[in-house]
A = this chain, B = another copy of it.
Amino acid sequence: MRGTMMEFPLVLPTLLQRAGKILGDTEIVSYRPDKSSTRTTFLEFSRRARQLAQALAKLGVKSGDRVGCMMWNHSAHLEAFFGVPCSGAILHSLNLRLHPQEIAKIVNHAEDRFLIIDDVLLPLYEKFADDVKFEAVIVVPYGFASVPEGFLNYEEFLEEGRGESPYPRIDENDGAAMCFTSGTTGFSQGVIYTHRSLVLHSLSCAMVDCMALSHHDTVMPLAPMFHANAWGVPHTAVMVGSRLVFPGPNVEPEHVLDTMLREGVTIANAVPTVWINVLDALEKNAGRWKFERPLRVICGGTAPPVELMRRLDAHNIHILHLWGMTETSPLATLGRLRSRMREWPEEQQYEIRAKQGWPAPLIELRVMRPEGEVPWDGVTPGEVEVRGPWVAGEYYKAPDQAHKWTADGWFRTGDVGTIDSDGIMKLVDRAKDLVKSGGEWISSVDLENMLMGIPL
């Protein structure tokens, strides 16, 4: 028997409207390539995102159409994060670090009808323009370059969307955003996040025991927004009203440190290499940057070495290790301590924090070998499988993908790991990161940890 709750779909227009109506005074800071900054508010952002949705509708964008975007992390990218899906279309964030021919292949595979692009990225676009055909290319005046002939100016385009027509009816299982996997072996695969999966992932990121994103935080998304939506941080920030500081293309350690202190950043996310560079800058310039308030750092992509965590802790910068993939939205597990572990010796605590950790609520893990599930003993390795409401169930129009999912519906990550009696998972390695030396396979994780431990 059905319950008596009202039907209320989990869709992005709900978050966007909330951002404008309830959280309108929240600030968004965006850095330009020249390191100057612009400031706007959630009120203005929500108005512009709505105009984008309405202008796209006028342009002829239909529900389910893919709209490509090639942008650095800044406020117009956030407008696209919400404006495109609120029009009923799917935002396809393109990885601008790929080879131009690879980008063209992905655009054609996704059948992107339109492109929104930063002016400063037009030179990259020119490298593959002949291999794709967008019906229109909308250029964001982000780096003060002028918009060339034959392109639409984003600011003028937004003017087309003035007014307040209601959003189109969106089903929560409709596609909202599309990302391709990094595809180190073979062709990248497309994943289409749904409105539902993005809303659930955002609720999850705002939980105390997950990322703990709060209205009182100032958040700096350093992970690119084309990498699994900057790990869900921008969507979550819009939902809870965190102040946002977008770095643009500037992720050099000195600039990052200057900006974090100047803007009062309380939480930031990036891969370990960024934090290794940050640590290096901190250690080479003793006393130049001082974090009076703790800075929380979400670190993923690969495992952060223990030595990195330890040394950053000394600077009041505290790494939280997140594990996930494009296929998992990405939040799957977190290297957080269990309650009783807070009494443990420091060394053991670091060991736990460096592991991939235990699954977020609603995410389920198991580790499999050909003969069945491995015991949760922390030593028996097998392939890590995952399922949950924000895990991909298939790739977009991919031939020969069936082997990536089990018959009973789990996603096979291709990663090899162990799981212990607390459900804490540790990757022994990613298959692709194994290093062969002297005829033996060496785990790159162990290697990296050892290297970081050598005194400089």
Q: A4-B396, A15-B361 are in contact. Are A10 and B63 (CB under 8 A)?
A: no
Q: Is the Cβ of A338 less than 8 Å from the Cβ of B208?
A: no
Least CB distance from A187 to B in Å reads: 16
Which residues of A27-46 have CB atoms within 8 Å of chain B's CB atoms? none
Q: Is the Cβ of B175 less than 8 Å from the Cβ of A240?
A: no
Interface residue tally on A, bucketed by range? 35 or more
Q: Say whether A364 faces chain B, with CB atoms less than 8 Å apart.
A: yes
Chain A 416-451 interface mask (CB, 8 Å, partner B; 1/0): 000001110000000000000000000000000000
Q: Is the Cβ of B208 less than 8 Å from the Cβ of A214?
A: yes
> Which residue of chain B is the closest to A175 with respect to CB atoms?
B3
Q: A207-B208, A422-B22 are in contact. Are A389 and B5 (CB under 8 A)?
A: yes
Q: What are the residues of chain B within 8 A of A411 when measuring CB–CB?
A: 6
Scoring A4, A8, A216, A392 by chain B CB atoms within 10 A of each residue's CB, the highest score goes to A4
Least CB distance from A405 to B in Å reads: 8
Q: Is the Cβ of B203 less than 8 Å from the Cβ of A209?
A: no
Q: Is the Cβ of B7 less than 8 Å from the Cβ of A393?
A: yes
Q: Say whether A14 faces chain B, with CB atoms less than 8 Å apart.
A: yes
Q: Is the Cβ of A423 less than 8 Å from the Cβ of B64?
A: no
Q: How far is the CA of A393 from the CA of B5 in the complex (A)?
A: 5
Which residues of A202-236 have CB atoms within 8 Å of chain B's CB atoms? 202-204, 206-209, 212-216
Least CB distance from A22 to B in Å reads: 4
> Which residue of chain B is the closest to A171 with respect to CB atoms?
B2
Q: How far is the CA of A36 from the CA of B358 in the complex (A)?
A: 35
Q: What are the residues of chain B within 8 A of A21 when measuring CB–CB?
A: 376, 423
Q: Is the Cβ of B194 less than 8 Å from the Cβ of A5?
A: yes
The 5 A-B pairs at the shortest CB distance, nearest first, are namely A1-B64, A6-B393, A3-B194, A22-B423, A3-B192
Least CB distance from A218 to B in Å reads: 9
Q: What are the residues of chain B within 8 A of A25 when measuring CB–CB?
A: 338, 340, 422
Q: How far is the CA of A440 from the CA of B132 in the complex (A)?
A: 74
Q: Is the Cβ of A209 less than 8 Å from the Cβ of B209?
A: no
Q: Say whether A196 faces chain B, with CB atoms less than 8 Å apart.
A: yes
Q: A207-B240, A392-B6, A393-B4 are in contact. Are A22 and B174 (CB under 8 A)?
A: no
Q: How far is the CA of A395 from the CA of B25 in the complex (A)?
A: 38
Q: Say whether A368 faces chain B, with CB atoms less than 8 Å apart.
A: no
Q: Say whether A184 faces chain B, with CB atoms less than 8 Å apart.
A: no
Could you list 6 A-B pairs, sorted by A, with CB under 8 Å?
A3-B175, A5-B173, A6-B389, A15-B361, A208-B212, A240-B361
> Which residue of chain B is the closest to A329 with respect to CB atoms?
B5
Q: Is the Cβ of A339 less than 8 Å from the Cβ of B6?
A: no
Give 7 A-B pairs besides A5-B173, A18-B364, A22-B423 with Cβ atoms closer than 8 angstroms: A3-B90, A3-B197, A4-B392, A4-B393, A199-B362, A203-B203, A208-B208
Q: Is the Cβ of A339 less than 8 Å from the Cβ of B392?
A: no
Pick from B5, B195, B359: contact of A196, CB under 8 Å:
B5
Q: What are the residues of chain B within 8 A of A52 when measuring CB–CB?
A: none
Q: Say whether A391 faces chain B, with CB atoms less than 8 Å apart.
A: yes
Q: Say whether A121 faces chain B, with CB atoms less than 8 Å apart.
A: no
Least CB distance from A293 to B in Å reads: 13
